[in-house]
Amino acid sequence: MTDFSMVAGDSKTLEITVNDDAGVPVDLTGASIEWNAARRPYGAAVISKAGNITDAPAGKFSVLLVPADTTTLDGSFYHAATITGADGSVSTLFLGALLISPLAANMTVEQFKVRFPEFAPVSSTLIALVLDEALAQVSTCLSDSDRTRAQMLLTAHKLTLEGEPGRTTSGAAAGTTGAVKREKVGSLEVEYAGMGTSSSGGRSYDRTVYGQMYWEQFGYSFPAIMVV
């Protein structure tokens, strides 16, 4: 296989046979294989995996993709495999196209925790409940990819208002109560200027950085208020 497509966050096993120009399988005995995916041909890898040689004389190897490899990716990529022979020689086996489709709208708890690892300590049961609540609130006018992102951001917003992940890790019960002006994660510190909104409906989302991102990106999808 050279070209393939998949859904972000899925598990997938690539089964690949290496043939020479005459169509004869290349013996992979003693070789090692590296598989990479990048935004452009032979560019910086966004995924890098070791190939598993499954039948060396028949030129067969596999590459296992796990959900964490693609959860945050979508769009068009290129993928390639290189082989290092037993004699140390290196050659490119192929260059192919890879299309990663966005996550399905109703994402899983595992996918959410991969995208927002800060919530990893939080109960999976709680996250599942909040994911369902968020999906019910997200506009059905959005595309599947936008609904997925909206669901993620709204879930993170709701969990933060409930005091997570601090409530789980340290027992703190209070969530964020005021508009976020400054956020610091590790060595990265960001200050938000002019966080006021022109719509009263958006002000509640100022209370967390996730809510701000949600309103900024998806506030347009809320139905307009009719004045009579």
Residue-by-residue pLDDT tens, the chain, 228 positions: 578 988 888 899 999 999 988 989 999 999 999 999 999 998 999 999 999 999 999 999 999 999 889 988 888 899 999 999 888 999 998 899 998 876 655 678 988 998 899 999 999 999 999 998 888 888 667 776 677 888 889 999 999 999 999 999 987 655 444 454 555 545 444 454 444 443 445 568 889 999 999 988 887 555 443 443
What pLDDT sits at residue 153? 92
38: phi then psi, degrees, rounded to nearest 5:
-145, 165
The answer to whether 181 and 191 are in contact (CB under 8 A) is yes
219: phi then psi, degrees, rounded to nearest 5:
-60, -30
Reported in sequence order, the residue ranges of 20-158 that DSSP labels E, i.e. its strands, are: 32-38, 45-50, 52-55, 60-65, 75-84, 90-101
What pLDDT sits at residue 173? 57
What pLDDT sits at residue 148? 81
Concatenating the DSSP letter of every residue in 74-96 gives -EEEEEEEEEE-TTS-EEEEEEE
Rounded CA separation 4/96 (Å): 8
What pLDDT sits at residue 65? 96
Q: What are the CB-based long-range contacts (under 8 Å, 24+) for 110-114? A: 110/67, 111/9, 111/67, 111/71, 112/152, 112/155, 114/9, 114/67, 114/68, 114/71, 114/72
Name the 3-class secondary structure at 128.
helix
Nearest one of 189, 168, 147, 220 to 160, comparing CA atoms:
168
What pLDDT sits at residue 107? 76
What pLDDT sits at residue 142? 73
What pLDDT sits at residue 194? 44
What pLDDT sits at residue 196? 41
Nearest one of 204, 221, 200, 212 to 147, comparing CA atoms:
221
What pLDDT sits at residue 146? 79
Other CB atoms within 10 A of residue 93 CB? 20
pTM greater than the 0.85 cutoff: no
